Amino acid sequence: EDFLYNLRNNFYIGNYQAAINEADSIQDSEEKSLFVYRCYIGLGNYELVQDEIQNDSSPSLLALKYFAMYLQDRSSYESILEKLGNLSQTELTAIVTSLVHYYENRIDEGLRAVASLTTIESMSLMVHGLLMLNRVDKASDIYKRMQQQDEDHTVTALTGTWITIAKGDQGLKDAYYQFQELIDKFAASPLLLNGLAAYNLKTDKFDEAQSALQESLEKNPTHPDTIANLISCAAFSEKTPKQITQGTQRQIRQLKANDPNHVWLKQLEKFENDFDSCSARFSASK
């Protein structure tokens, strides 16, 4: 019997607190501890992870400690990558290394960190990186390998939704059924609800997208991706421009408070800098 099944799957779909609650009734093991600490990281409880994982712990546990340190202070990424590089390599040390690179928008380095691994989770991470590079073709090839290895794995199902949405072709409806099936099988989580919202935005169902995001916000009022997607969704609402601006500015402040390094904010900063640069050139040419 797989005693970690519910714990593991609640982690995969982003139901972190449910996973932690599930762990209370499971016998202690390193694998259990790894998933529990990953859930605490997902909830933003970085200090707890750093305090509880001792410096003489296993490489995988130390990788999570270093990951929590990095997420608490993103400017530490170079020293964190050095610490990770000094650990005996495990699947999780490679996954954490890849994630740090992804957070720093060093996608090629992130892909290299997991390129030699063939587990479902590591292949899913490769798909994620390739989609960030808009290489849907390469991502689809790896997804096929995941299906061959374990078609019923929750991570395989989640990865399939990313591929389907990225392709945006006639099979897009499949993403809706995939998300709905996962919600029915486990429970709605911010991760799944944001996926559902992404599908609805892709198919111009803006009210349904808004509804999914509001439900996600009720589950986690500080969830950065939910806030970012609500900002994007606001442009399609029926509110007045003044109402949209007020609401959006409030959400931007909230996003900055909860995740100042969020990719949406990075894009906003780039657009603002580009606009300022163009304005300066235009003014100088007058």
Residue 16: per-residue pLDDT: 96
Residue 2: per-residue pLDDT: 85
Cα 28–20–221 angle (5° rounding)?
A: 165
Helix/strand/coil (H/E/C) assignment for every residue in the chain: CCCCHHHHHHHHCCCHHHHHHHHCCCCCCHHHHHHHHHHHHHCCCHHHHHHHCCCCCCHHHHHHHHHHHHHHCHHHHHHHHHHHHCCCCCHHHHHHHHHHHHHCCCHHHHHHHHCCCCCHHHHHHHHHHHHHCCCHHHHHHHHHHHHHHHCCCHHHHHHHHHHHHHHCCHHHHHHHHHHHHHHHHCCCCHHHHHHHHHHHHHCCCHHHHHHHHHHHHHHCCCCHHHHHHHHHHHCCCCCCHHHHHHHHHHHHHHHHHHCCCCHHHHHHHHHHHHHHHHHHHHHHHC
- Identify the structural domains of the chain with CATH numbers, from first to last: 188-286 (1.25.40.10)
Residue 262: per-residue pLDDT: 84
Per-residue pLDDT of the chain in tens (286 residues, 90 and over written 9)? 688 999 999 999 999 999 999 999 999 999 999 999 999 999 999 999 999 999 999 999 999 999 999 999 999 999 999 999 999 999 999 999 999 999 999 999 999 999 999 999 999 999 999 999 999 999 999 999 999 999 999 999 999 999 999 988 777 888 899 999 999 999 999 999 999 999 998 888 989 999 999 999 999 999 999 999 998 888 776 666 666 677 788 888 988 888 888 888 888 777 777 666 676 666 666 5
**CB 39, CB 15: distance < 8 Å:** no
Residue 154: per-residue pLDDT: 96
Residue 244: per-residue pLDDT: 63
pTM, rounded to two decimals: 0.88
Residue 71: per-residue pLDDT: 96
Tokens coding 225: 């991706």
Residue 1: per-residue pLDDT: 61
b/e burial code for range 136-145 (CB count within 10 A of at least 16 → b): bebbeebbee
Residues 6+ apart with CB under 8 A from 93: 59, 60, 63, 84, 87
Whole-angstrom Cα distance, residue 32 to residue 129?
Answer: 27
